[in-house]
Structure 1
Amino acid sequence: MSLVAARTLSGRIWVVRPNHSLSVAGRRRLFVATATASGLIAFAFSCFGAWPVIPFAGIELALLWWALLRTELAADDFETITLESGHLTIEKRHGARVERHEFQPYWARLQYVKPPGQNGHRLLISSHGKQVEVGSLLTEEQKMALAKELKQNLGAV
């Protein structure tokens, strides 16, 4: 996952995005190439009487199409943490769902906890009974780095 931190005129911003190795055009080329190869193989086998290969090739292509579609729907996911003089804003997008949370930096509390029975830690920002997880797309090392930066900058505000 990628974590980008930047300083703005009024504060700091952190943007977390998942890594995607294929572009939209790359996903289309992958599907066309796989469909062509699978179709040619299925056609060749059906010419020799093994026609049941064709439905399995179709199922294989349908599953590949579904997986690539899921990847494309998640391509625009992000988490943005904006810290300005009087506001801490967290925006999250997962698929079509967009969340926006606002906190007062003075009252915001940062927690780096490991829930029982889970392998990874969670980075939580809470204030006035409201709690939001940030950095869920990050690795453990990136979460620790983000927690350290947030703690320093929350104290500075």
Structure 2
Amino acid sequence: MEQPAHQTFRATLRPYRSLSRKGFLILMSVLIGLNFAAGTAFYLLGAWPVAPFLGLDVALVWWAFRKNYADALKEEQIEVTAHELILRRFDHDRQREELHFTRAWVRVELEEDKDRELIGSLFLRFKGQRTEIGRFLGAHDRKEFAATLRGALAQPRV
């Protein structure tokens, strides 16, 4: 009979977004108000063709924020069990991806330039192949998570 794998470590990585929904509504309201005032001023000065471009400006800002918020739905779950590391990726427009790595053979790699104090990508290396994780995290967060994940992999297996 197979023993259930005991969970020793689990982390969920999500992109950080500093602007809340309420903040977005306030920003868009101010932008619409300013563009409406500028459009009215141009219309009264006889430059009425400018007004539609100000509306296009608001539409482009709205589209950019919509894309940004859609990217915020990405998520990576990393679970370290007694015998394996499991990486699950979720995306708002793609199917779920799940990768399994043998715990004893997986390595955590962080690209770092210590001379210039630059932090690059974070990878899981297994069987000569690298899988990038935490692409959406900031440099400091990638470095911190790499240390945490290395520590979880180094813990004795239960």
- Whether TM exceeds 0.5 here: the answer is yes
- Of residues 39, 43, 53, the one that matches 1:42 is 39
The answer to whether 1:60 aligns with 2:60 is: no
Q: Provide the rounded CA distance (Å) in 1 between the counterparts of 2:58 and 2:123.
A: 41
Aligned residues: 146
User: Aligned residue for 1:5?
Assistant: none
> What letter is aligned with 1:126?
R
**Aligned-partner Cα distance in 2 for 1:121–1:80:** 20
Give the 4+ runs in structure 1 shifted more than 6 A.
none
Question: Relative CO higher for 1 or 2, CA cutoff 8 Å, sep ≥ 6?
Answer: 2
Query: In the alignment, what sits opposite 1:121?
Result: 120
- 1:106 is paired with a residue whose SS is helix
The residue type equivalent to 1:44 in the other structure is A
RMSD: 2.4
Letter in 2 for 1:30: L
Report what 2:152 is aligned to.
153
In structure 1, list runs of 5 or more residues that go unmatched. Answer: 1-8
Structure 1 counterpart of 2:3: none
- Quote the residue 2:79 is aligned against: 82
Q: Is the 8 A contact 2:14 2:74 kept in 1?
A: yes
Q: Is 2:76–2:134's contact at 8 Å kept on the other side of the alignment?
A: yes
Provide closer, same or farther for how the CA distance between residues 25 and 145 of structure 1 changes in structure 2, counting only shifts above 3 A.
closer
User: What one-letter code is carried by the residue in structure 2 that aligns with 1:103?
Assistant: F
**1:129 offset after TM fit, Å?**
4.6
Task: Give 2:20's aligned residue.
Answer: 23
Superimposed CA distance per residue, residues 16-41 of structure 1 (whole angstroms, 9 cap, x where no aligned partner):
22221223343234223322321132
Secondary structure of 1:150's partner?
helix
Structure 1 residue 43 displacement after superposition: 1.6
- Alpha-carbon distance in 2 for matches of 1:73, 1:141: 23
Q: Note the residue ranges of structure 2 that are not aligned, 5 or more in a row.
A: 1-5
TM-score, normalising length: structure 1? 0.77
* 1:32 is the counterpart of 2:49: no
Compared with structure 1, are the counterparts of its residues 72 and 148 closer, same or farther at alpha carbon in structure 2 (3 Å cutoff)? Answer: closer
Q: How far apart, in 2, do the equivalents of 1:112 and 1:50 lie?
A: 55
For the residue of structure 2 that corresponds to 1:132, the secondary structure is strand
